[in-house]
């Protein structure tokens, strides 16, 4: 490499970029959880899973959503 070569300067990291990525992840994850919840309810309505199974799995989804934090 010639001695005049310098790596590109990307500037200082932007903390808001990380926050934006986290917010987008949370939004997508909440959407996935909503789809999973809907699927559970359809399984229950079609008598494919019991009330107990629905409640247990819905509780797991609720805990996952709560764990996402933020808004």
Start-to-end C-alpha separation, the chain: 49
Contact 25, 33 (CB under 8 A): no
Q: Copy the structure tokens of residue 23.
A: 């917010």
Of the two residues 6 and 24, the one the predictor is more confident about is: 24
**pLDDT tens per residue, range 10-62:** 666 666 778 889 999 999 999 999 999 999 999 999 999 999 999 999 999 99
Residue 10 main-chain phi, psi, to 5 deg: -95, 5
The answer to whether the pTM exceeds 0.75 is no
**b/e burial code for range 21-51 (CB count within 10 A of at least 16 → b):** eeeeeeeeeeeebeeebeebeeebeeeebee
């Amino acid at each position: 490499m010639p001695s005049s070569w310098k790596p590109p300067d990307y500037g200082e990291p932007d903390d808001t970029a990380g926050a934006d990525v986290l917010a987008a992840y949370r939004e997508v994850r909440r959407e996935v959880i909503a789809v999973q919840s809907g699927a559970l309810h359809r399984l229950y309505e079609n008598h494919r899973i019991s009330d107990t199974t629905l409640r247990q799995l819905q509780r797991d989804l609720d805990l996952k959503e709560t764990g996402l934090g933020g808004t």
